[in-house]
Structure 1
Amino acid sequence: MKLLYLSQYYPPEVGAGSVRSSIMSRRLAEDGWEVDVVCERPNYPTGDVDPQYKNGWVHTEQEHANLWVHRIWSVANKRRNVLEQLLFFTSFMVTSFLYVLTHPKRYDMIYVSSPPIFAAISGYFLSRILGAKFIFEVRDIWPDSAVDEIDEQSPLIKYGKVLEKWLYHKADHVIPVTDAAEAIIKTRSNGTPTSVIPNGVDVEQFRLMDNPKEGIDEPYDETKFRVGYVGSLGLIHDLETFVAAAKLLEDEEGLEFVIVGDGGRNNRLQEILDFYHPNNVSWVGLKRYEQIPYYISSFDLAVNPVNPSRAFDSIVTVKFYEYLACEVPVVTTGKGLMKEIGEQSGAAITIPPKNPEALADTIRGLMNDRKRLRELASKGRSFVNSQYSRGRLAELLSGRLREIAE
């Protein structure tokens, strides 16, 4: 069986989409699929192209006996506004289409990972030209997830909703990552079959590290209570509440806050830090993916701050699973599915969103209740091992795709 995997994001880029695409494509290859991945030159989230990929239209690498990765040219920028974002996304839509069209092969399936949704336009038309089935993976429902940044009445959102429904109708199968997202898709897809393959975590890579300092660039004081956030700086993430809570806890001795990550809203984070001027927050920037388990393992407590929005009620952030796999308890401000999964795990405390006082009180309480902290930490890894292991989920995807192909 031959599969074309279209994903704008792919390692060494960081982020949920990149990680999922890498693990899923590799596991499919290990399961006997012949997989071609078409992705962009690595530049996300900073907008700076990795030096080894700067020259040339395409860079092809064989990562497995059955897995080839084709990194193609597309516009790279920091996505600081809607125009830059559209240029970033649509350029990959065009170049991915042209690349595959000029290097035609026979595929049984064309599998498109979204967002960005525009890659699915390329995938659909390629599927019709090449006579392959079109499988549409939906990690976030777009344009719903953009409504808080763009006026809901804007032409972009209106046309985006038309595009979304059209793609659902044209797909041979839709792969959402949560039951809640599947329920939304079913109301818009006019009967297109769906299968939920959740997000998860690579439990082999993400585990509690014995000596976190081995993988961390900056020196830190192990005697301090360390509260951290790791991830992209995106629309979903409410880092203002995180920073404001840190400001409220400035007088607490032996407490520090750490932000690990970068992204299209890094200017906004800098504005927040400049406004609050907390003396207990370190923003250490973007780190290599293989370093992330070390940073998480250095935390006594992780925070998963999610902005309140209906669009995010059907989402569980990947970093939440990564925290639990590293046996770090989590405070989350999510609603909907995020709250539900947190309660199921037994390793998370959910508080109201946009409430720095509640977050500060919860952090202070756990800092002074190490028994409760240990109880929470003890439950996380077994929870993700049993339900959200990337390896097991990749096997489920491979099996489901074989059923669809028959």
Structure 2
Amino acid sequence: MRILYLHQYFRKPSEGGALRSYYLSTALAKAGHEVELVTAYNGKTYKTEIIAGVKVHYLPVAYDNRYGFPARIKAFLKFSWQSTRLAFKLKNVDVCFATSTPLTIGIPALLLKKFRGTPYFFEVRDLWPEAPVQLGFIRNELLKTVLFWFEKLLYRNATKIVALSPGMVAGVKKYKLPVPVFLIPNIADCRFYQPVFTEKVSASTPFVISYLGTLGRANRVDFLLDIAKLCQEMNLHQVKFLIAGSGAESRHLKQKAQKLNLHNVTFTGHFNRHQVQELLNRSAATYTSFAKFPVLETNSPNKFFDSLAAGKLCLVNTKGWLQDLVEKNNCGFYADPNQPTAFVQKLLPYLTDPTLLKTCQRNARELAEREFSREKLSRKFVAMFENNSIKVNQ
């Protein structure tokens, strides 16, 4: 089968960042399919590269997560235009797979279907435009109407839809369209991340809590700084916080940490994959952070699944699916981000009981292997292309 894979933010392992499309596109290639992937990069000329059997087309469309909303929209539309032109030059495509965000990734897929009869599968990584609407990025009522109409249009014309969390499945199904929806969460790479369990805890042994990922408005890593401030005030000197990432809020967060005179917080900047692996090996726990908006409770953050694979105590500040996962599998806890005292009270037992901590860390790794392993989810993804009788929402 000849598959066209559209993803504006494709990353390969040497670059770090979210590797879902790398995992899934290369799984298709390994299964014998011919895969051509179209993405963007911050270069000046078009180029191609063969990556693990996948031909990757790099379009020169600059993007930075520090961009304001107008600049982001410009980048989205530019990539949509260039990828559409390229897609129509490719011959004999059997199916197109388009993964959001942004929602504009669906434009070339939709046009291929309308003018070439090429079916497409659409992957929902975020409920868009619901997310930017709730976060206040989109306020114009006419624009909201147009974007929600376009979202429904993309879903209606898709042959199959992939969603990354139960909340996203529900967000798609609210339109009551006769399109099968597959739940394929983010991937835990249990081969790359090998657990290093905590053997002892004491007041003299650093207890490292890491935040990995984007430092953006939607992430509200301010919550973690409030927790760090309280730990410092309570003389919990063994608790250290490492923040690895970059984004629009980086400067603000560093200024806040300086203003609060935090001695227990270190900003490392963006890390590549091997640096993330090393950081997780040093960490006892990870913190997954989002602002308090209902739509963000549906998220499926890739770094959370890295944490499971690495066998870390998983601390989350959103209700919904992530809370259910850590509580039902006894591999972490949820704490209201506006109540740092409640967080610290829940953390205290893990600072004194190595058996409790190690049990939760082992449970995290077992959950990764059982439900989210790269091998299991890749097989499910490939089967979606090869077997029309596969059960949906499983």
TM over 0.5: yes
Q: Is the 8 A contact 1:245 1:359 kept in 2?
A: yes
Aligned to 2:177: 190
Q: Is the 8 A contact 1:75 1:92 kept in 2?
A: no
Confirm or deny that 1:225 pairs with 2:211: no
After TM superposition, give the deviation of residue 271 of structure 1 in Å: 4.3
Q: Is the 8 A contact 2:69 2:137 kept in 1?
A: no
Distance 2:170 2:179 in 1: 12
After TM superposition, give the deviation of residue 275 of structure 1 in Å: 4.0
* Residues 247-278 of structure 1 deviation map (CA, whole Å, 9 limit, x = unaligned): 11113223311001112332443343344331
Q: Is the 8 A contact 2:196 2:311 kept in 1?
A: no
Aligned to 2:263: 279
Aligned to 1:33: 33
Q: Is the 8 A contact 2:63 2:72 kept in 1?
A: no
Aligned to 1:59: 47
The DSSP-based 3-state class of the residue aligned with 1:147 is helix
After TM superposition, give the deviation of residue 184 of structure 1 in Å: 2.1
Map 1:384-395 to 2 at 5 A: 384-395=368-379
Aligned to 1:85: 72
Confirm or deny that 1:22 pairs with 2:22: yes
After TM superposition, give the deviation of residue 246 of structure 1 in Å: 0.3
The DSSP-based 3-state class of the residue aligned with 2:63 is coil
Distance change >3 Å, CA 187–CA 257, structure 1 → 2: same
Aligned to 1:262: 246
Distance change >3 Å, CA 168–CA 275, structure 1 → 2: farther
Distance change >3 Å, CA 205–CA 116, structure 1 → 2: same
Q: Is the 8 A contact 1:352 1:358 kept in 2?
A: yes
Q: Is the 8 A contact 2:135 2:218 kept in 1?
A: no
Q: Is the 8 A contact 1:366 1:372 kept in 2?
A: yes
- Give the fraction of aligned pairs with identical amino acids, expressed as a percent: 23
After TM superposition, give the deviation of residue 160 of structure 1 in Å: 1.9
Distance change >3 Å, CA 324–CA 78, structure 1 → 2: closer
Q: Is the 8 A contact 1:6 1:110 kept in 2?
A: yes
Distance 2:257 2:116 in 1: 51
Aligned to 1:399: 383
After TM superposition, give the deviation of residue 153 of structure 1 in Å: 4.3
Confirm or deny that 1:177 pairs with 2:164: yes
After TM superposition, give the deviation of residue 99 of structure 1 in Å: 2.0
Aligned letter for 1:170? N
Q: Any unmatched runs of 5+ in structure 1? A: 42-48, 211-221
Within the candidate set 338, 356, 372, 2:356 is matched to: 372
* Residues 31-66 of structure 1 deviation map (CA, whole Å, 9 limit, x = unaligned): 11100010011xxxxxxx3xxxx342x11111234x
Distance 2:144 2:220 in 1: 22
Aligned to 2:200: none
Instruction: Name the Cα RMSD after superposition.
Output: 2.3
The DSSP-based 3-state class of the residue aligned with 1:313 is helix
Confirm or deny that 1:249 pairs with 2:249: no
The DSSP-based 3-state class of the residue aligned with 2:387 is helix
Q: Is the 8 A contact 2:61 2:75 kept in 1?
A: yes
* Residues 205-247 of structure 1 deviation map (CA, whole Å, 9 limit, x = unaligned): 122259xxxxxxxxxxx94221111112234323111011101
Distance 1:26 1:122 in 2: 22
Distance change >3 Å, CA 126–CA 266, structure 1 → 2: farther
Q: Is the 8 A contact 2:44 2:60 kept in 1?
A: no
Confirm or deny that 1:106 pairs with 2:88: no
After TM superposition, give the deviation of residue 15 of structure 1 in Å: 3.3
Map 1:330-341 to 2 at 5 A: 330-341=314-325
Distance 1:84 1:189 in 2: 34
Distance 2:249 2:154 in 1: 28
Aligned to 2:201: none
Number of corresponding residues: 380
Q: Is the 8 A contact 1:245 1:360 kept in 2?
A: yes
Distance change >3 Å, CA 284–CA 64, structure 1 → 2: closer
Distance 1:252 1:64 in 2: 46
Aligned letter for 2:371? Q
Aligned to 2:105: 119
Distance change >3 Å, CA 259–CA 403, structure 1 → 2: same
After TM superposition, give the deviation of residue 309 of structure 1 in Å: 1.6
The DSSP-based 3-state class of the residue aligned with 1:401 is helix
After TM superposition, give the deviation of residue 90 of structure 1 in Å: 1.6
Distance change >3 Å, CA 384–CA 77, structure 1 → 2: closer
Distance change >3 Å, CA 339–CA 78, structure 1 → 2: closer
Q: Is the 8 A contact 1:138 1:174 kept in 2?
A: yes
Confirm or deny that 1:143 pairs with 2:129: yes
Map 1:197-212 to 2 at 5 A: 197-208=184-195
Map 1:342-381 to 2 at 5 A: 342-381=326-365
